[in-house]
Amino acid sequence: MSYRTKSLALSAVLAALALIFSYVEAMIPPIIPMPGVKLGIANLVIIVALYSIDFKHAFSINIVRILVAGLLFSGLFGMLYSLAGGVLSIIVMGLLKKTDLFSIVGVSMAGGVTHNLGQLIVAALIVENQKMFLYFPILLFSGLVTGILIGIAAHLINNNVSSLKEKVH
């Protein structure tokens, strides 16, 4: 299979998987009942894509997932928050990965934190209240913890799923 075909097919499958994860996430009752504090299992797919395909594809998968999940589950405002968080975190993760200094866990950790930061920036803009940032420490720590957990899971997946192991290119 050509690189183009294979990466396109893989992207489509991963986008669908990410969407399912978004759905599953919406169904799990929140462990800590605070808006914005969640596991972010859909990001697991994005990180796997980032490592097994490339930044461009991971970015696209993320955008597709957020737009469709927004339309299906979370509504327009939810979509806006996710979009800000998703775009910021994937860019940061892409850059960190490029430096080659960080492991997949570190990259995921930074992604978790910046995802919450992006959401909060949009929330502060919409509500027009800088006090929203008082909420940031909670989101920062939750992003840190979930990012690490997701990173460990992504590490295990990347090392054990053989079809992902042989990189597309």
Q: Interface residues for other proteins in 114-143 (CB under 8 A)?
A: 128-129, 131, 134, 136-137, 140-141
d(CA 148, CA 159): 17
Residue number with CB closer to other proteins (55 or 136): 136
Nearest-approach distance from CB 50 to other proteins, in angstroms: 16
d(CA 138, CA 133): 10
By CB under 8 A, is residue 113 in contact with other proteins? Answer: yes
Per DSSP, 73 falls in state: I
Stated as kind and residue range, the H or E segment containing 63 is helix 55-69
By CB under 8 A, is residue 168 in contact with other proteins? Answer: no
Alpha carbon distance, N-terminus to C-terminus of the chain: 11
Q: How many residues bind other proteins (CB under 8 A)?
A: 21
Residue number with CB closer to other proteins (66 or 154): 154
